[in-house]
Amino acid sequence: MSPVADHLSAWDSLLAQSYAFGEPCVAGRIRSRVEDFQVDEISSVTPDGEGEHLLVHIRKSGANTDWVAGQLARALGIERRDVGYAGRKDRHAVTTQWFSARLPGVEPSGWQQQLPPGVAVLASERHRRKLRVGSLRGNRFKIVIRDLDGETETLAARAQHVAAEGVPNYFGTQRFGRGGSNLSAARAMFAEPRRRIARGRRGLLLSAARAYIFNAVLARRVADASWNCLLTGDVAGLAGSHSVFAVPEVDDTLRQRILRQDIHPTGPLWGRGDLMSRAAVRELELTMAGRDQEFAAGLEAAGLEQARRPLRLIVEDLALQVSGDVARISFALTAGGYATAVLRELVLGREMRATEKHASARHAS
């Protein structure tokens, strides 16, 4: 199989992943307009009110985070490396987030007028430290889905299931690039380890390969209906924390903690070192990683260490309104959670539906 055909096959497999609550009976158009997808960052940082950095709260429309960071640096007359942010936000959306800009002893003026259309400053305050990726609690989403078609009366019940039980914590399709292009690029990078690749690009491709293995494991756990419960040999993660612990046996105490959503089962973020999982869980994780040995071996050779990610994503403050053929959905997710993981359990996006049906047909033939 050619590299291109190989990555397309892998991409089809991702699109054909199992659904936690069965395939949705409703389709609709997502992101018909930029303003239909709104994301507000929930920061974990409180401005100090002093320091050599300027924290800037920005609303952007139709622009990616890295590009805005560059525009902010240009407007302030500083190097791009002196601008930081906590998380990347969707390009095809209206989003708000905080940036930091290193300006020791400088009080800039007139810089806000130098920013391009679609980028607006909401507030700015002094701070002692540069913002680092990951320094956020989560994101709040407001999404409009248009041209609904199908059994729209099922949406409310599905939303209740999602709000009560959460959803499989899949990495979103944007992690893999357009049409899965980041997966093919990762394969090429692993095949030629001495080829020089920019640090940021390299990190992106490593993340795509890692996410692919994780999604493959999670898809199997969804198919087995074990994505939201603990199995013997599992590794449990504490909610709101990176702390994990092995589960040699599942007792009533652990079952209650799972029901309270105090802990979650986890899956592997692949790297070198021994898996924490044991028994059948370990075998499953090794099997799924072994199906794409290029990725697993490449990640290990790159020096990444084994880590864990929750299999379950809790959806907070979910609200749904349906009027005619339009649905408005709002919810909040912890850092690292993808809105697309929530939406795919509620509706089939028009483009998603066509591609997934095609993928399912190909794998059935």
Sequence-distant contacts of 173-179: CB under 8 A, at least 24 apart? 173/14, 173/15, 173/340, 174/90, 174/338, 174/340, 175/207, 175/208, 175/211, 175/338, 176/11, 176/14, 176/208, 176/211, 176/212, 177/208, 179/8, 179/11
Name the DSSP class of 286: H
The candidate with the shortest Cα–Cα distance to 17, out of 240, 176, 207, is 176
**DSSP string for residues in 134-155:** T-EEEEEEEEEEEEEEE-GGGH
Name the DSSP class of 72: H
Strand pairing report for 348-349 and 26-30: parallel
Cα-based distances in Å from 186 to 105, 195, 301, 351: 43, 12, 13, 25
Helices and strands of the chain, counted as H and E runs: 10, 16
Name the DSSP class of 178: G
**Length of the chain, in residues:** 365
Estimate to the nearest angstrom the gap between the alpha carbon of 309 and the chain centroid.
Answer: 11
What does the alpha-carbon distance between residue 142 and residue 136 come to, in Å, rounded to a whole number? 18
Amino acid sitting at position 31: R
**Residue 117 phi, psi dihedral angles, 5° rounding:** -55, 145
**DSSP string for residues in 117-138:** TTEEEEEEEEESS---TT-EEE
Residue keyed to tokens 């009080």: 107
For residue 201 the two structure tokens come to 């690009």
For residue 149 the two structure tokens come to 């078609």
Name the DSSP class of 297: H
Q: Which residues are catalytic?
A: 90
